[in-house]
Amino acid sequence: MPESFISLKNVSKHYSVDLDAGVSDINLTIDKGEFVAIVGESGSGKSTLLKLIFGTLAPTAGELTFNGAHIPGPHEKLLPGHDSMKMLSQDFNLNLYAKVYENIESMLSNENVQEKKQRSLDMMELLGIGALAEKRIVELSGGEQQRVALARAIITRPEVLLLDEPFSQLDAVLKTQFRADLKRLGNDLGITIIMVSHDPVDGLTLADKMFILKDGKLIESGDPASIYDKPSHIYTARLLGNAFSLPSEEAKTMGIKSKAANVMIYPEWIQLKSSWTSKKYEIEEIFFRGFYEDLLLERKGIRIHAINTKPGMYKKGQGVQVVIERYLEFD
Ligand code: ADP
Ligand code: MG
């Protein structure tokens, strides 16, 4: 059997100050060229897992390999961090008073000055920052700085690019642009990208494979569409969508006959009808989202969400009939 590109076997990292924190017994593999997203709520161990893969954190148990070779930890190397990997840090790590091209060029050796210049220019073009070459970092916006940091990280052609919450400092428009950049880079340069995010949309839009972390454990993995469609855990559904769960007893009033303890429903699995029924839900709140509305519905203290794609159609306080088109069972 061929070696996996990246492989983690029974990897745990427990911090001595808090033995419960960290990650536990992680088993996973990552293929070359894959775009992987590590998703989980805050404190679930995402950054810990990323640092273990990079080698800036040593596991307390288990084994990590890259191309079949042991990944050296921080005490086994002079310069922590795997030579074939680059981590794009949140603080960008740029030389603020140097020019853009200087920040990028400085990553390359001086052996061939002409080639060095050309490669930097190519990289700036690729990331759409060619026009900024002569500007100092302090003169750039946050989004532009992030592109420079990205250019710096990949100019040396690392095999793996690690990203920890790369979108956290960007506004919505820049976020969309940066997502598109990353996707393109992964495809064009064939870099394996491992990205940590607390925003599941990042993972859903970009990743070939998602790893879902909960309390330091890897609870499920797979391609975004399959995981979203058939999550094995309610936690995953809540994380990825606006899912809610109901005791099956309550779901009976919506025509669901289930022997499981709970049923899980995404808002988009609910149909609304304004027809008369005694089992109506009341529209408690309407959240306008632009091209749709998120409706908060209530009946006898139970609250559920539904999506209305025709904004303005319903009024607060109105009664609606709820029809469940699909649901998943959980015990
Ligand atoms: P995430 O990135 O998903 O928010 P982290 O990997 O940063 O989670 O942290 C996972 C858990 O480990 C948290 O409970 C956090 O408090 C704890 N932790 C992280 N870094 C350290 C550290 N250096 N020392 C002690 N505990 C830590
Ligand atoms: Mg983190």
The CATH code of the domain that includes 174 is: 3.40.50.300
Interstrand relation of 192-197 and 160-164 (parallel, antiparallel or unpaired): parallel
| Mean pLDDT of the region 81-110 | 90
What does the pLDDT look like over 153-207, one tens digit per residue?
A: 999 999 999 999 888 777 888 888 888 888 888 888 899 999 999 888 899 999 9
- What range defines the domain where residue 26 resides? 6-84+158-239
What order of strands is seen across the sheet that includes strand 217-222? 85-88, 160-164, 192-197, 35-40, 209-214, 217-222
Q: What percent of the chain has pLDDT over 70?
A: 98
Handedness of CA 52, 56, 57, 59 (dihedral sign): positive
The pLDDT value given to residue 109: 87
Ligand nearest to the CA of 168: 2
**91 found inside a domain:** no
Please give the number of the atom of ligand 1 that sits closest to the Cα of 51.
6
What does the pLDDT look like over 255-304, one tens digit per residue?
A: 888 899 999 999 999 999 876 666 789 999 999 999 999 999 998 888 99
Q: Are residues 71 and 196 in the same domain?
A: yes
Tokens at residue 169, please?
A: 């400092």
Residue that finishes a domain, picked among 207, 239, 271: 239
> Is the beta carbon of 217 within 6 A of some atom in ligand 1?
no
Residue 275's alpha-carbon distances to 147, 180, 299, 318, in angstroms, are: 53, 44, 16, 12
Place 250 in a pLDDT band, splitting at 50, 70 and 90. confident
CA 304 to ligand 1 center in whole angstroms: 33
Which amino acid residue places its CA nearest to atom 13 of ligand 1?
Answer: 43
**1 found inside a domain:** no
> Is the beta carbon of 15 within 6 A of some atom in ligand 1?
yes
**89 found inside a domain:** no
CA 291 to ligand 1 center in whole angstroms: 38
Which amino acid residue places its CA nearest to atom 26 of ligand 1?
Answer: 15
Q: Are residues 33 and 147 in the same domain?
A: no
CA–CA distance, 40 with 217 (Å, rounded to integer): 10
Handedness of CA 309, 312, 316, 321 (dihedral sign): negative
| Phi/psi-derived region of residue 254, left when phi > 0, alpha when psi is between -120 and 50, beta in every other case | alpha
Q: Are residues 313 and 175 in the same domain?
A: no
Helix (H) or strand (E) holding 14: strand 6-15
Residue that finishes a domain, picked among 239, 273, 288: 239
> Is the beta carbon of 21 within 6 A of some atom in ligand 1?
yes
Residue that finishes a domain, picked among 153, 177, 193: 153
Q: Are residues 227 and 272 in the same domain?
A: no
**177 found inside a domain:** yes
**57 found inside a domain:** yes
CB-based contact 215:267 (threshold 8 Å)? no
Residue, of 17 and 140, whose pLDDT is higher: 140
* Average model confidence (pLDDT) across the chain: 91
Q: Are residues 162 and 290 in the same domain?
A: no
Q: Are residues 62 and 107 in the same domain?
A: no
**186 found inside a domain:** yes
**315 found inside a domain:** yes
Of the residues 12, 13, 15, 196, which should be mutated to test ligand 1's pocket, given the most ligand atoms within 8 Å of the CB? 15
**69 found inside a domain:** yes
For residue 316, give the nearest of 301, 300, 330, 295 by alpha carbon.
295
* pTM for this prediction: 0.91
The terminus-to-terminus CA distance of the chain in angstroms comes to 37
CA–CA distance, 62 with 72 (Å, rounded to integer): 13
Q: Are residues 64 and 191 in the same domain?
A: yes
The pLDDT value given to residue 2: 66
pLDDT above 80 for 87 = yes
CA–CA distance, 31 with 329 (Å, rounded to integer): 32
Q: How crowded is the C-beta side of 305, counted as CA atoms within 13 Å?
A: 16
Polymer length of the chain = 331
CA–CA distance, 232 with 20 (Å, rounded to integer): 24
Q: What is the DSSP string of 122-175?
A: HHHHHTT-GGGTTSBGGGS-HHHHHHHHHHHHHTT--SEEEEESTTTT--HHHH
Place 93 in a pLDDT band, splitting at 50, 70 and 90. confident
Q: Are residues 28 and 64 in the same domain?
A: yes
CA 221 to ligand 2 center in whole angstroms: 19
| Mean pLDDT of the region 93-104 | 93
Q: Are residues 101 and 52 in the same domain?
A: no
Q: How crowded is the C-beta side of 231, counted as CA atoms within 13 Å?
A: 25
> Is the beta carbon of 44 within 6 A of some atom in ligand 1?
yes
pLDDT above 80 for 64 = yes
Q: How many domains does the chain have?
A: 3
Q: Are residues 171 and 251 in the same domain?
A: no
CA 94 to ligand 2 center in whole angstroms: 21
Q: Are residues 231 and 275 in the same domain?
A: no
Q: Are residues 175 and 44 in the same domain?
A: yes
